[in-house]
């Protein structure tokens, strides 16, 4: 499905504070999906946490496997040959009220905000929607924060080798999430041109974010 019109993504600063809080607490995001079912049909594996008991109960066991390398209670749900989630029935989620936290917290506006797009066989189903999102900006500072998000994402994507051990996310969604968490690094006026130093600052800010009180 291709969307010809722009979709209101909301006030950027309001959304930014909400998504940062979601990263902290695991609370779901209120995403105005409309008729889009991109993330339900783009061939994505869905991680179920041990705390996702309603989802574990609602999803037929044949669609769940233990999550490789993770503790008991973590599971993964795959997708059908068409790329769609097996819980998508007649165009809607059949376990919506019990859906996993992965689904509750996913917000494709993270890609729109950071200027990234998904790769892969079915990911145009997400990208078509991503390209329609249009934020509003209430101040010059909001525009600066938006630019910082995009600068952070571009740096992580381009300079993975600058990170300790070359360990930087490569999946667009993971890059976007990290960029949002550490965007304050790119609000700095210091302008340190050394990629290794910038990468160290990103790692430090990521650790600060994860350790800070919710």
Q: How far, in Å, CA of 145 to CA of 137, rounded?
A: 10
Cα-Cα end-to-end distance for the chain: 38
Q: Count how many Cα atoms sit within 13 Å of the Cα of residue 162 in the half-sphere of its side chain.
A: 16
Identify whether 149 is part of a domain: yes
Q: How many CB atoms lie within 10 A of CB 177?
A: 19
Question: Left (φ > 0), alpha (ψ -120 to 50) or beta: where does 96 sit?
Answer: alpha
Is residue 2 predicted with pLDDT exceeding 70?
no
Q: Are residues 83 and 121 in the same domain?
A: no
Q: How many CB atoms lie within 10 A of CB 66?
A: 12
Q: What pLDDT does 193 receive? A: 85
Q: Are residues 197 and 210 in the same domain?
A: yes
Q: Are residues 47 and 82 in the same domain?
A: yes
- Listed residues 75, 106, 137: the one ending a domain: 106
Q: What is the DSSP letter of 73?
A: T
Q: Residue 142, class by beta-carbon neighbours within 10 Å (0-12 exposed, 13-18 middle, 19+ buried)?
A: middle
Q: Which residue has the tokens 């105005």?
A: 32
% of the chain residues with pLDDT over 70: 96
Identify whether 3 is part of a domain: no
Q: What pLDDT does 121 receive? A: 85
Is residue 31 predicted with pLDDT exceeding 60?
yes
The model's pLDDT over 157-170, given as tens digits with 9 standing for 90+, comes to 999 999 988 789 99
Q: Are residues 85 and 128 in the same domain?
A: no
- Listed residues 106, 135, 164: the one ending a domain: 106
* 196 contacts 153 by C-beta, under 8 angstroms: no
Q: Are residues 21 and 41 in the same domain?
A: no
Q: What pLDDT does 166 receive? A: 79
Q: What is the mean pLDDT of the chain?
A: 93
Is residue 58 predicted with pLDDT exceeding 80?
yes
Q: What pLDDT does 167 receive? A: 85
Identify whether 1 is part of a domain: no
Q: What pLDDT does 95 receive? A: 97
Lowest mean pLDDT among 4-8, 45-49, 75-79, 84-88: 4-8
Q: Are residues 115 and 97 in the same domain?
A: no
Identify whether 154 is part of a domain: yes
Please enumerate in sequence order all residues whose Cβ is within 8 A of that of 35, keeping only pairs 6 or more positions apart, or say none: 1
Q: Are residues 76 and 157 in the same domain?
A: no
Q: Once rounded to an integer, what is the mean pLDDT over residues 84-102? A: 96
- Listed residues 55, 78, 106: the one ending a domain: 106
Q: Are residues 90 and 163 in the same domain?
A: no
Q: How many domains does the chain have?
A: 2
Bigger pLDDT: 89 vs 190: 89
Report residue 26's pLDDT band, with 50, 70 and 90 as the boundaries: confident
Q: Are residues 188 and 170 in the same domain?
A: yes
Is residue 3 predicted with pLDDT exceeding 60?
no
Domain residues for 14?
A: 8-31+107-214
Q: How far, in Å, CA of 1 to CA of 169, rounded?
A: 29
Q: Once rounded to an integer, what is the mean pLDDT over residues 15-42? A: 92
Q: Are residues 56 and 68 in the same domain?
A: yes
Q: Are residues 75 and 151 in the same domain?
A: no
Q: Are residues 65 and 154 in the same domain?
A: no
* 105 contacts 78 by C-beta, under 8 angstroms: no
The model's pLDDT over 123-146, given as tens digits with 9 standing for 90+, comes to 999 999 999 999 999 999 999 999
Is residue 25 predicted with pLDDT exceeding 80?
yes
């Amino acid at each position: 499905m291709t969307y010809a019109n722009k979709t209101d993504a909301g006030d950027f600063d309001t959304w930014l504070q909400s998504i940062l809080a979601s990263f902290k607490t695991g609370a779901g995001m209120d995403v105005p999906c409309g008729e889009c079912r991109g993330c339900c049909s783009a061939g994505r594996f869905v991680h179920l946490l041990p705390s996702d008991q309603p989802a574990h109960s609602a999803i037929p066991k044949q669609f769940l496997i233990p999550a490789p390398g993770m503790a008991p209670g973590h599971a993964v749900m795959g997708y059908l040959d068409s790329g769609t989630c097996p819980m998508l029935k007649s165009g809607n989620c059949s376990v919506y009220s019990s859906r996993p936290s992965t689904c509750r917290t996913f917000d494709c506006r993270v890609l729109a905000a950071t200027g990234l797009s998904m790769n892969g066989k079915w990911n145009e189903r997400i990208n078509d929607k991503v390209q329609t999102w249009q934020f509003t900006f209430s101040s010059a500072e909001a525009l600066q924060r938006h630019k910082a998000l995009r600068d952070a994402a571009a740096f992580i994507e381009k300079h993975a080798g600058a990170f300790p051990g070359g360990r930087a996310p490569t999946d667009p969604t993971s890059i976007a999430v990290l960029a949002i968490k550490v965007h304050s690094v790119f609000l700095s006026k210091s302008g340190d041109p050394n990629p290794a130093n910038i990468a160290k600052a990103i790692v430090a800010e990521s650790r600060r974010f994860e350790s800070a009180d919710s």
